[in-house]
Amino acid sequence: MLDTKALCKTVCRIVVAATGLPADHVIVGDPGGPAPAGSYCAVRLQNPEQFGQAHATQRDVPALDDPQYEDIIVRVATQFTLGFSVNFYRDGAVANAAALCEANKREPVKSLLRSAKLGWSRVSGINNLTGLYQGGMEERAQLTLYLYGESIAEDRVQRIYRVGFEVQTEQSGAIAQGEVNGLSG
């Protein structure tokens, strides 16, 4: 399952590393609170999209009910492209947005991506949204940062090791009984 809050916080740290904005001026978008004073940035996950085929693997583990048997853990890793709307406000908005372009080449950003197990895809074009706001000009810029990530789900599958059976014929009514035991080979 995607932890959208943790993903947004990681992107906030990437923005801080790339732009030099103070950490308390890079916020998760739509918080319902007041905007920070001065230049700031708001980050919001907008469109996670699944791509490619999920990677499915399995491994044997001791069964929970009897350790002489084994269960299977099936792990499915679904790959996503994660689009984050990154909005810059006030002085330096366009320059801050431009600082994200090719930021994946910078060591602090590489480190943040590695620790969050994310991959860099691309940055959209910068939208210069500078315009009148409350009677004065306010610099604004927006871009979309695309990252690669994955969501992992694991399920325990119990194996059937012993099955009893009974077979009866229609003509003679003869009955055969038995058991199939997976431990006997």
Question: 40: domain range?
Answer: 4-184
Query: pLDDT at position 65, please?
Result: 84
State the pLDDT at residue 113: 96
List pLDDT tens digits, range 34-88. Answer: 888 999 999 999 878 888 888 999 999 998 888 888 899 999 999 999 999 999 9
Average pLDDT, the chain: 89
Three-state secondary structure along 13-58?
Answer: HHHHHHHCCCHHHEEECCCCCCCCCCCEEEEEECCCEECCCCEEEE
Select the highest-mean-pLDDT range: 44-53, 126-135, 169-178. Answer: 44-53
Q: Are strands 131-133 and 26-28 parallel, antiparallel or unpaired?
A: unpaired
Domain count, the chain: 1
Segment 87-115 mean pLDDT: 95
